């Protein structure tokens, strides 16, 4: 602590300077990670509740750090957003995921891919153009790509406009972590989207709390009225899956079916039979 004039004590000043330095170094490391291909995608199955087979794979980015091991997105997405690196990172994720989906297709597996997009990636008209170019370069059907955004995009008019331009291409839009942000019914009414992802905190509360169950039932009903499908995240038990299927939830995702992993490690019974 450092004593200032007037007897005020300033705490943490040296530590704050250190923090800035650490951040600067992390930023350089993350930029290097992008060029050195240390960012890898794991895929988590999204199960069609009716067939029990995977209909989509959500791409979740990891940093294969040379000394710190495999880092989850919570360790570096915030930094990427603050530094603007989210833009090149996002392009890398989108490209890799689309190419992967096309390869599944060549192997006779029809599996869509879902990619998380931060509001910072939606700040200009280049994004829809990049998506369009990627789709035509890879030959991926637009409907086989889903872009997942949180309710945070609603606060940003440009981001919303850019997102709707992406949707015009035929790409599906999913509202991620639904019910945890500033969900506003007026936005829901104003903007079309294709999927609602029920946040895992709601799924975790199933079986025990009747109020929570009532809320989840309402989200499913609301999505139906708006012409959207529902995905329940964080499904960990058979009881949760049964309840959600009974209530008409369209897709299920969670550790019960598989953790995010390389596609090679997915349980084979999750994949639909190959189409010749
Ligand atoms: P999210 O999109 O809500 O992803 C779901 C998170 O829940 C993932 O964490 C996943 O591993 C975890 N999860 C899945 N099933 C279960 C379950 O049954 N139980 C529990 N307790 N958790 C489950 P992860 O991989 O750590 O990702 C965290 C967040 O990082 C994601 O949340 C997403 O917002 C963000 N993220 C991941 N990849 C990207 C990316 O490529 N770009 C951007 N912008 N954000 C990303
Ligand atoms: Ca997501
Ligand atoms: Ca989510
Ligand atoms: Ca989340």
Instruction: Give the pLDDT confidence of 60-93 residue by residue, as tens digits.
Output: 999 999 999 999 999 999 999 999 999 999 999 9
First to last CA, the chain: 71
Q: How many other C-beta atoms are found inside a 10 Å radius of the C-beta of residue 144?
A: 21
Q: Does the CB atom of residue 72 touch ligand 1 within 6 A?
A: yes
Say if residue 107 is exposed, middle or buried (CB neighbours under 10 Å; 0-12, 13-18, 19+). exposed
Residue 1 has pLDDT above 60, yes or no: no
Say if residue 27 is exposed, middle or buried (CB neighbours under 10 Å; 0-12, 13-18, 19+). middle
Beta carbons of 105 and 112 less than 8 angstroms apart:
no
Ligand 2 centroid distance, CA of 118 (Å): 10
Q: Is the overall model pTM greater than 0.90, yes or no?
A: yes
Element (H, E) at 246: helix 238-246
Q: How far apart are CA 41 and CA 72, in angstroms?
A: 11
Beta carbons of 184 and 211 less than 8 angstroms apart:
no
Residue located nearest, by CA, to atom 29 of ligand 1: 73
Mean pLDDT computed over 173-195: 88
Whole-number percent of the chain with pLDDT over 90: 75
Ligand 2 centroid distance, CA of 13 (Å): 37
Query: Can you state the percent helix, strand and coil of the chain, rounding each to 5?
Result: 50, 20, 30
Q: Does the CB atom of residue 12 touch ligand 1 within 6 A?
A: no
Ligand 4 centroid distance, CA of 3 (Å): 42
Q: Following DSSP, what letter does each residue of 216-233 receive, concatenated?
A: HHHHHHHHHHTT-EEEE-
Beta carbons of 245 and 51 less than 8 angstroms apart:
no
Report residue 194: phi and psi, to 5°. Answer: -105, -30
Q: What is the pairing mode between strands 69-71 and 112-116?
A: unpaired
Q: How many other C-beta atoms are found inside a 10 Å radius of the C-beta of residue 156?
A: 15
Q: What is the pairing mode between strands 54-65 and 69-71?
A: antiparallel
Distances (CA, A) of 11 to 24, 29, 38: 22, 29, 37
Residue 238 has pLDDT above 90, yes or no: yes
pLDDT of residue 221: 97
Mean pLDDT computed over 24-37: 91
Q: Does the CB atom of residue 236 touch ligand 1 within 6 A?
A: yes
Ligand 2 centroid distance, CA of 116 (Å): 5
Positive or negative, the CA dihedral 76, 163, 145, 179 is positive
pLDDT of residue 240: 98
Q: Does the CB atom of residue 176 touch ligand 1 within 6 A?
A: yes
Q: How far apart are CA 82 and CA 87, in angstroms?
A: 11
Q: Does the CB atom of residue 240 touch ligand 1 within 6 A?
A: no
Q: How many other C-beta atoms are found inside a 10 Å radius of the C-beta of residue 82?
A: 12
Q: What is the pairing mode between strands 54-65 and 39-48?
A: antiparallel
Q: What is the DSSP letter of 261?
A: B
């Amino acid at each position: 602590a450092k004593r200032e004039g007037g007897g005020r004590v300033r705490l943490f000043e040296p530590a704050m300077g250190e923090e800035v330095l650490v951040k600067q170094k992390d930023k350089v490391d993350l930029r290097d990670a992008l060029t050195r291909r240390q960012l890898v995608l794991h895929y988590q199955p999204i199960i069609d509740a009716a067939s029990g087979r995977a209909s989509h794979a959500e791409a979740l980015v990891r940093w294969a750090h040379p000394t710190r091991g495999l880092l989850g997105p919570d360790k570096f997405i915030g930094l990427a957003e603050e530094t603007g690196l989210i833009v090149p990172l996002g392009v890398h994720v989108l490209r890799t995921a689309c190419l992967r989906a096309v390869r599944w297709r060549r192997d006779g597996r029809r599996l869509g891919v879902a990619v998380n997009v931060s509001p910072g990636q939606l700040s200009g008209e280049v994004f829809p153009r990049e998506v369009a170019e990627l789709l035509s370069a890879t030959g991926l059907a637009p409907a086989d790509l889903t872009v997942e955004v949180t309710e945070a995009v609603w606060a940003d008019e440009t981001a919303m406009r850019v997102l709707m331009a992406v949707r015009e291409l035929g790409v599906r839009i999913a509202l991620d972590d639904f019910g945890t942000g500033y969900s506003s019914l007026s936005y829901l009414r104003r903007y079309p989207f294709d999927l609602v992802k029920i946040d895992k905190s709601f799924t975790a509360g199933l079986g025990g709390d009747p109020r929570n169950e009532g809320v989840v039932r309402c989200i499913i009903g609301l999505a139906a009225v708006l012409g959207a499908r529902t995905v329940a995240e964080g499904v960990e038990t058979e009881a949760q899956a049964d309840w959600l299927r009974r209530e008409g939830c369209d897709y299920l995702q969670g550790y019960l079916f598989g953790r995010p992993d390389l596609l090679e490690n997915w349980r084979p019974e999750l994949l639909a039979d190959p189409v010749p």
